[in-house]
Amino acid sequence: MKSELIISIWGAVLSTLLASRQLWQWHKERISLDVTATLSSWASSEDEDTRGTLYKRMAPDGIELYYEALVSISILNKGQRSTQIAAVFVESEGDDAVHLQQIIPDGLPAILDPITRKEVTIQKEWIDTCGDRILSVGALDARGVRHEVRTEQFTALIKRCSELPSRVKKYRRRDDPNAPAIWAFPVKDRATLTSRPKQASK
């Protein structure tokens, strides 16, 4: 009886160790990305054809200084397996649907090895066009899984973008002047738009 009890206890210990190892292995191999987003500026000139948004500031000596603003996205692979980053995304809410704008700037798609970082930029107008209906910003991996920017940083980014000029304007179709005007901007990033009914997002 005593030997059977010892065998039973030993079996339970082995089962616990095996389960713990499997859990550790799963945690080690799972995809873990840390995505940050900030508004960055670079020195520019009034006549330069910029990809980003051109704005000016007055220097203390009265000279006008010009800058180009872009949203910088930094993606850090904190996991132990390589991951393909497919796009940057901006999610927004429409009247009847939720829209996902998948933006593919230079440098994406890309394979991100463990403990490495990828930095890309997108036009800030992708955020401006959403207005107060923007829901999230982040990176999309090759499986279609979204990795969002943290809430506090997301809020700070939206605020900073709203403080600068925007190239988003109302446009009318030349071939149909009676068509409703739309909000748009000169797009210089590759992008695709997908939508789903609001009911599906609950």
pLDDT in tens, 89-142: 999 999 899 999 999 999 999 999 999 999 999 999 999 999 999 999 999 999
Contact yes or no for 57/43 (Cβ under 8 A): no
Query: d(Cα 29, Cα 202) in Å, to the nearest integer?
Result: 29
d(Cα 148, Cα 166) in Å, to the nearest integer? 24
**What proportion of the chain, given as a percentage, has pLDDT over 90?**
71
pLDDT band with cut points at 50, 70 and 90 for residue 20:
very low
* Burial label, 152 (beta-carbon count in 10 A; 0-12, 13-18, 19+): exposed
Domain ranges of the chain: 31-201
The predicted pLDDT at position 97 comes to: 94
**pLDDT band at residue 182, thresholds of 50, 70 and 90?**
confident
- Please state the pTM of the whole predicted model: 0.81
Q: Higher pLDDT residue, 171 or 3?
A: 171
* pLDDT-derived band at 188, boundaries 50, 70, 90: very high
Mean pLDDT confidence for 57-70 = 93
Mapped onto helix, strand or coil, the DSSP state of residue 164 is: coil
196, β-bridge pairs: 98
Q: Is the peptide bond before 180 cis (omega within 30 degrees of 0)?
A: no
pLDDT category of residue 16 using cuts at 50, 70 and 90 = low
Q: What does each C-alpha distance from 32 to 102, 141, 147, 160 come to in angstroms?
A: 20, 11, 9, 27
For the segment 49-70, the average pLDDT, to the nearest whole number, is 94
In whole angstroms, what is the distance from residue 115 CA to residue 166 CA? 35
Judge contact between 55 and 66, C-beta under 8 A.
yes
Q: Taking 50 as the threshold, does the pLDDT of residue 171 lie above it?
A: yes
Percent of the chain exceeding pLDDT 70 equals 84
